[in-house]
Structure 1
Amino acid sequence: MSGFLKWVLLGYFAAPLCVFAQIEVTSPFVHEKRYVLPSGKKVELTLQERRCRNGECREVDAGMWGMDGGIPRFVTETFLVRINGKPFPIPEKLYKDLTNMHSASVIEDKERIILELKGGDGAGAYTARFELGGMCGFERKICGEVCGEIWEHTTWYNSFAYEGDPLCKSGIQ
């Protein structure tokens, strides 16, 4: 086979692979699911991202999870949690910095409900764990794709926000 023909055939088969490698996720992450945990608790989780509006998202170096510089493709718009039918409020400021999500799950560990969200890729990959304690508050831990080291740890306790629960007088239950 001639050298020219080899190059033509190589180009014919390699070009689609190059195009395929450049394809990015083009739709925002949406997760609406009901979970029944081993304890019998029922958790409803609704997560919705949306595309950045024109001029809304600017280039980030830090301050947004799921990015290693650049402009986020998507931002978290909705993060709703219900436990046994009762809303569990999570302040917007504790989820608005999560971008480019690709998975969500809910598990139970020692009577705590853990929401685990994963997003980003490469150097911008993260795992966000929301450890819900009672109905009084929660902890948010951010780490890499594989959680070997905690990068950020936030404890949110606000008895005013959770005043409907009589056990919310002494911190996270």
Structure 2
Amino acid sequence: MRRESSIPFDTRGHRGLISVRIVPNDDPWASGHQLVVPDLDAEAFRGFPMCTASLRYHGHGIAAIMGWIQVITREFDGNVSVDLAPNLDHTDPFYTYGYLPTFFDAPANPDHPDGTWRADTFLVVVPDVIHSRTVQSIAGFSWGYRLESGRPTLLDVTPVSATGWSGHNAVLTKSHPTWTFT
């Protein structure tokens, strides 16, 4: 079942819209999972979510440089962590950063115990773009899946409020002590 949502935001004097689309992965081979899991058992990975969040924004140029930060909560074991792309600098908190960045994630964990895997995903800016190590949340959304007997059920996309962002301050600060999260 497809999940979609639109989340408005304002930053740097311009309005924008996050378009979130989550679909079950019906074909792990076509989606490229064998690139990260060489011995892919496609049937075990089938049905896990693929999340894409794209931006429409009335600003352009330097004003459109933003990032995405994602915090994962594995409710089945209580683990909360900042999700980082494995090939980027782990001292930075960003899943991605750049000009009108598109967010994409396709978690598939068929070996996890039953329970909920939830992501809080935030569109963020560094207010002065490159001069400081301060991150400000613009908007966010929650998504994920519930695993039961090895089969995932997608969670609804829900907006995350400013208190949701501030609720992750401890894990963000612990994981990235040279950054400030406002």
So what's the TM-score if we normalise by structure 1? Answer: 0.34
Decide which structure has greater strand share.
2
Higher CA-based Rg:
1
TM-score between both structures, scaled by the size of structure 2: 0.33
